[in-house]
Structure 1
């Protein structure tokens, strides 16, 4: 219990202290409006000091009583009751501190000045009705102040919970997208594989000296394209290898795929969501007949073709942009001067 109280006092935030200090100064200033009707003369500094000191002490006591209740469990079923009880306790302790302090202070109060100006004896505050009334006078504004702070804390917790839900939703979308991309990565075009197998078989049948090389290229593509169960994701180097093996298979099938050149530098091991680059290559082969394709990695990843006019929006581009939006990445296409480049920017 004592450790919780000490820990809660140490957790005081500047904004919370500012709220209590502002409230103290406000309540002290309310009584000062009576000075307009009084002639205090040279006693004004002492009166001001008294009127501001007592509310500051009162709010300090209330603050120290409120903090342990405010730092209790936010989901406790009796949290509100704890806050009300702490406020009531703070009000009682405030009166217990303020009465002796007010009596000990050498500075006059407004009641003293008023009584002196009307020829009456000095004010006395030590009687039961005054103590009960002053306790309620402290308790009611303090309860409103605590309620305001609790409402602000509740709003902050609700906002944080909403942010956590949005973050969790985003993570779930990322995981779902990763599963979809893994499924895409595991897909191998059956028609392409069948044609490649037939081509290898025919090459061996006619004793083509390139048959062995063709078989090696087919095995290489299968090793790259088939799912690797223990891999958590793809890399930029792996995607470049996938593109190269895919184009080699097309070349073995008497196609005319573009020559491929990759300049990755030290970024070959950069994590990259799978099946983001190969679909762009396949799309370029369907839309045109580029003779050269290049992949460069600097600050961003650039996949280029020596043919312009490949930036038209279609279902494939829309699907890629949807995946990239979930990944907080962007895809920009530029075309002109006999070339088309797709620039992929991933979050750092």
Structure 2
């Protein structure tokens, strides 16, 4: 009898069965599966709550406002569908062109003053080695004031009688100015108020960006004999190009919605020289009680600002 005859006859079958047999994966513990479902359920509940809040308080008002632009609405009678009549009346209103022209003028002046001033302030503050935190707080203080308080304070500054600015001019024997009563000076005066009240936030953004610039670049520029102006032009500006572009677009979007300054300080005068898009929209809705025309005006403004928002999103996506 050979050794082959002594092997068990079932061995090959056993090996084949072992190859086919697979160890089944252990089922998930009931407690772990329940916990996973519960965690996902809570996440979906929070997500659903956020979607509902956005839908009710953000998306619905936008859609509702767009629809009101095609209706005659005064909330005293049922709304009537009028199609494009509101837009026709809007474009025929002479104040529509005046408001956009004044808004564009305000935005341009705000870019000249309000865009350069925070950047230069941040560059100067960044050079200080002592008291930097105190100076930052000082620059940011106007942002913490309520807008109405700021407007009332500056109304006293601009007062043609006992106002601070005219008193200073009289001390230096300079002619006093009609800051808010002159058509030529009123818009400039509003821009100065807006710049002073809002530059703190932008200044802090620029300071954070300046802190992220590698010091080796400035050291190399100094070794090459670069002056302060050359370091600013060849090092600081290129390194902050993206931040400057983003703040520029955000400032355009913000200044085109200016309302508080002309509403409190000038009321749109003198001679409609400071009436802006938002102020005219307010008049349509709450002075003339024509909410359909006001909604049409808001839709036009929404489209214009949406174009700038698309540019902003494109820039941020390119950077990312």
Structure 2 length as normaliser, TM-score? 0.23
Higher helix share: 2
Q: Give 1 or 2 for the bigger CA radius of gyration.
A: 1
Q: Which has the higher contact order (CA 8 A, sep 6+)?
A: 2
Higher strand share: 1
